[in-house]
Chains A and B, each alone.
Chain A
Amino acid sequence: MSCPSELTCSAYVDGALSPEEARGLERHAGSCTDCHTLIESLATERTLLRQVLQTASADGVIPAFVPRPTISSHLVWLGWSAIAIWAVSTVWISLLSTLTLPGWLSWLSPSAIGAGVEFISAALLPGTSAAEITSALFSAAQSVVVALIALIGFGWLVRHQPGRTTAPLIAVSAFSLLLTAAPESQAFEVRRDEQRVVIGPDEIINDTLIVTADDIVIDGKVTGDLVVAGESVTIRGSVGGVVMAAGESVRLEGDFGGSVFGAGELVDLRGATLAANFFGAGEKVVVHDDAEIGGNAALAGEEVEAHGSIAQDLLAAGERITVFGSVGANMRGYGETVELADSAAIAGDLTLKTKSEETAIIAPGATVDGATDISGWPEEPSEYATPGFYVGKILQILAAFVTGLVLFRLLPALGQAELAGGTEALVTAAIGALILIATPVLSVVAIVTLVGAPLGLLTLMLWLATLYAAGIVIAGYIGRLLLPNRESAAVPLLLGMTLLVVVTNLPIIGGPIQLVAGLLGLGLIGQWLQALWSKRAA
């Protein structure tokens, strides 16, 4: 027998040869000194290598084992929270609205939200009652929560039924769940130019049209919605859907099938016919006498002039409001001075709140068919004087505290977020400002145009939740600054939160402090997300 290879000897030493092979090798080695020596050396080396490798380095302490919450336990937490929110809101709405609460608890009643919503309802959707809006808001919120529960369920499935095909399948079904909840979305067309975009009189656009340019002129016909933003916006053609126009000057002179939203330094409605509502906001908002509004009008500006005819309600707010034209139903005016000229005719009630009763001027020729109610600014009692204010604040702190504990348990990194000094803090604040401003803009764009309302609504709600979390994160940070080296997060968090609520409620400086704290908190969350993202990418 010739000498076996070194590989065979090595495998023999490692005990990896079959019994017959091993016996053959042993027979050979018994008569071959070279092979015998090689095997001996390999065996010694093997023993020593094992010994050396297995000598556990006994030095160093064993760090404590702190189990992280697992993704499934995150999901379970989230799921239970979502269900709890859903249950509480349902009970709250259905039960509390039927109970009569004592005065100092009145803020708990859903109608308290209703009062806040009333202004929104009056401004955005005249003719809709606050109760309708409240219930619409809640059903929207609840549908988001239901979608969330569904997504968590899907997440749980992905986690516990892993497989290459399950994940995409579930992602697709989750997405389609969102889409089926979405209203029918239209195709859209985007026109962009640095200087000028003109839609000529012969042009017909059968989709939603989005235009951005310095100078925008729309003479043609748009059958879908129209979203325009530019320095100077002029719409002379006809638009079938909703119009949202923003610019330094917004001139609306065409025929509009849907509601029209105009915002700019000057919002000018001349010779226009609107089938639905008109919302104008700007330094100066003018409805000329040849303009006809088929629905309600909500006008807000430093200077508001209404010459034309408004078929339904008029809500006007501003420093100087003058009405020359006719209003088909009620008019409500809030301003320093409100004037009804001789030619003004209000078919319904007139409600005016002005600086003082003297600054509400009704010319002798003006007619009001319904009741007239004129009052000065109400004297607000100081909110600091009511016990409900303090009870409310304490409950607010407790709610935020509980939320904070849950948040820090779910995302421990947020509970340890550190604010760097100097320019780094400015960067953090800048990130916060970006989140603060960009997110709602993107959500509104999503709601109006792109993927449909649910996604935008979801983003908006996430944004609101993030704003809330920002306060908690910064409160936690402040608490840890004041009480360093605490094992539990609870006491510092409670301290930071109390301090933050007290300071932000101080007159005058409270607002700015709240803004800065909010920006920093948002920035910390943003940086955490960024770190999470880059870690995942790496």
Chain B
Amino acid sequence: MDKVAFDALYREHYRRVYGLCRRMLGRTVDAEDATQEVFMRGYRSFGRYRSQDPFGPWINSIATNYCIDVLRGNRRVRDLFSADAEPDEAESPLENGAAPLIRAENAESVNQAVEALPEQYRLPIVLAYYSDASYDEIAETLGITRNHVGVLLLRGRKKLRAELASQISQEN
């Protein structure tokens, strides 16, 4: 196995994979360990990787599956989404026309708020907006329906807004 070639790919894609692991796993798991494990898995199955395909999506899918494995623990991943959350007061409607709560200046707190989201909302949001996965891809990865993906994304963003709004009101 070509360790040198793999090492170069590792350096190139490390931060991206680390970001995915950190966002998917949230605060409970050490993302650095997870990233090492992802590349370890990639290294082991490097023989099956076809070099004409881009490496990014390939290692990305390994990372996604690994993180889901970690989160699943002993549960089946479907169980993560079986409890269809009731809409609650914490959801905040989009203030039409108002300045969005998400701004480049508060990137840090937005990322933190995403990491603090419950898994069932965090995973679709990370897959959709970090990995740029389509509804179909997310549905397949998480083992849920396409429609469910849309609902979870909508609710997840509402929760995110509520969280950011409460942060801002605390600051003031």
Q: Which of B106-154 contact A (CB under 8 A)?
A: 107, 110-111, 114, 125-126, 128-130, 132, 134-135, 146, 149-151, 153-154
Q: Flag if B104 contacts A48 (CB, 8 Å).
A: yes
Number of A-B contacts (CB under 8 A): 96
Stretch at the interface among A52-60, A146-154, A177-185, A186-194: A52-60
Complex contacts, B15 vs chain A, CB 8 Å: 56-58, 62
Q: Once the chains bind, are B129 and A53 in contact (CB under 8 Å)?
A: yes
Interfacial chain A residues near B11, Cβ < 8 Å:
62
Known contacts A6-B154, A48-B102, A67-B3; is A53 also within 8 Å of B126 by CB? yes
Please tell me if the beta carbons of B150 and A49 are within 8 angstroms of each other in the complex: no
- Asked if A70 and B134 make an inter-chain contact with CB atoms under 8 angstroms apart, the answer reads no
* A259 to B: closest C-beta gap in Å: 52
Number of residues on chain B facing chain A (CB within 8 A): 47
Q: How far is the CA of A536 from the CA of B132 in the complex (A)?
A: 34
**Bound Cα distance from A67 to B114, whole angstroms:** 31
Report yes or no: B154 in contact with A48, Cβ–Cβ below 8 A. Answer: no
Mask, B94-110, CB within 8 Å of A = 1, is: 11111010111001001
> Are B39 and A49 interface neighbours, CB within 8 A?
no
Interface centre among A6, A44, A58, A65 (most CB of B within 10 A): A65
Bound form: Cα–Cα A55–B109 in Å: 13
Q: Measured between alpha carbons, how far is A49 from B104 in the docked complex, in Å? A: 9
Q: Using an 8 Å CB-CB cutoff, how does the interface string of B38-78 with A read, 1 for contact, 0 for none? A: 01100110000000000000000000000000000000000
* B81 contact set on A, CB distance < 8 A: none
Tell whether, in the assembled complex, residue A48 and residue B103 are in contact, meaning their CB atoms are under 8 Å apart.
Answer: yes
Smallest CB gap from A65: residue in B:
B10
Dominant SS at the A interface?
A: helix
Query: What residues on A are CB-neighbors of B94 within 8 Å?
Result: 6, 38, 41-42, 45
A11 to B151, CA, bound (A): 9
Tell me how far the C-beta of A388 lies from the nearest C-beta in chain B, rounded to whole angstroms.
45
Q: Are A10 and B154 in contact (CB under 8 A)?
A: yes
Chain B neighbourhood of A11, CB < 8 A: 135, 150
The one of A44, A49, A62 that contacts B110, using a Cβ cutoff of 8 Å: A49
Docked Cα-Cα span, A14 to B100, in Å, equals 17
Selected from A10, A37, A44, the residue in CB contact (under 8 A) with B153 is A10
B 14-48 to A, binary, CB cutoff 8 A, 1 in contact else 0: 11101100010000000010001001100110000
Pair B154/A63 contact, Cβ less than 8 Å = no
Contact across chains for A38 and B135 when beta carbons are under 8 A apart? no
Given contacts A16-B135, A68-B40, contact A46 B129 (CB under 8 A): yes
Q: Is A51 an interface residue (CB 8 A)?
A: yes
Q: In the complex, what residue of chain B is closest to A71 when comparing beta carbons?
A: B44
Are A53 and B150 in touch, CB under 8 angstroms?
A: no
**Of the candidates B7, B18, B128, B157, which one forms a contact with A45 in the assembled complex, judged by CB atoms under 8 Å apart?**
B157
Binding site secondary structure of chain B: helix
How far apart are B123's CB and chain A's nearest CB, in angstroms? 13
Q: Is the CB of A65 within 8 A of B129?
A: no
Chain A residues within an 8 Å CB radius of B130:
50, 53-54
Question: What CA separation (Å) do A92 and B107 show in the bound complex?
Answer: 70
* B-contacting residues, A71-105, CB 8 Å: none
A15 to B128, CA, bound (A): 11
Q: Which residues on B sit within 8 Å (CB–CB) of A65?
A: 6-7, 10, 36, 39, 43
Report A333 CB to chain B, min CB distance, Å.
64
User: With an 8 A cutoff between CB atoms, is A7 at the interface?
Assistant: yes
Bound-state CA distance A70–B129 (Å) is 34
Report A27 CB to chain B, min CB distance, Å: 20
Tell me, in angstroms, the Cα distance from A495 to B40 when the chains sit together: 33
Choice from A10, A34, A50 contacting B129 with Cβ under 8 Å: A50
Residues on the A chain within 8 Å of B154, using CB: 6-7, 10
Please, which residues of chain A bring their CB within 8 A of the CB of B125?
49, 53
Q: A14, B153: Cβ atoms under 8 Å?
A: yes
> Which residue of chain A lies nearest to B154 when distances are taken between CB atoms in the complex?
A10
Known: A10-B153, A68-B40. A44 touches B100 (CB 8 A): yes
Name the B residues within 8 Å of A41 (CB-CB): 94-98, 100
Cβ-neighbour of A67 out of B40, B97, B104, B135 (below 8 A): B40
Q: Which residue of A lies closest to B150 (CB)?
A: A11
Pair B104/A14 contact, Cβ less than 8 Å: no
Provide the bound-state CA to CA distance between A42 and B94, in Å.
8
Q: Which residues of B contact A70 (CB under 8 A)?
A: 44
Q: Measured between alpha carbons, how far is A58 from B93 in the docked complex, in Å?
A: 33
Look across to chain A and name the residue whose beta carbon is closest to the beta carbon of B158.
Answer: A6
CB-CB nearest in chain B for A538: B73
Residues of A within 8 A of B114 (CB): 53
Decide if B32 touches A63 in the complex (CB within 8 Å): yes
Q: Are B19 and A56 in contact (CB under 8 A)?
A: yes
| Pair A45/B102 contact, Cβ less than 8 Å | yes
Q: CA–CA, A16 to B151, complex, Å?
A: 12
Distance of A42 Cα from B18 Cα, bound (Å): 28
Q: Which residues of A sit under 8 angstroms from B7, Cβ to Cβ? A: 65
Q: Closest chain B residue to A5 by CB distance?
A: B154
Rounded to whole angstroms, the CA-CA distance of A7 and B103 in the bound complex is 23
Q: Which of A37, A50, A53, A56 neighbours the largest number of chain B CB atoms within 10 Å of its CB?
A: A53
CB distance from A239 to the nearest CB of B (A): 51
C-alpha gap A522/B90 in the complex (Å)? 56
What is the chain B residue whose CB lies nearest that of A55?
A: B107
A36 to B145 Cα, complex, angstroms: 28
Partner of A14, one of B40, B93, B150: B150
Q: A10-B154, A51-B104, A65-B7 are in contact. Are A16 and B96 (CB under 8 A)?
A: no
CA distance A45 to B151 in the complex (A): 17
Minimum distance in angstroms from B152 CB to a CB of chain A = 11
Contacts of B135 in A (CB 8 A): 11, 14, 16
Given contacts A49-B102, A65-B36, contact A14 B97 (CB under 8 A): no
Chain A: minimal CB distance from B160 (Å): 8
Please indicate the chain B residues that have their CB under 8 angstroms from the CB of A63 in the complex.
32, 36
* Given A49-B157, A53-B110, 8 more pairs with CB closer than 8 A: A16-B149, A49-B102, A51-B104, A55-B104, A56-B15, A65-B7, A65-B39, A67-B40
List the 6 closest A-B pairs by CB distance, nearest first.
A16-B135, A48-B102, A52-B107, A53-B130, A56-B15, A62-B14
Give 13 CB contacts A-B under 8 Å. Answer: A7-B154, A10-B154, A16-B149, A38-B96, A41-B94, A44-B100, A45-B102, A48-B102, A49-B102, A52-B107, A53-B23, A65-B6, A65-B10
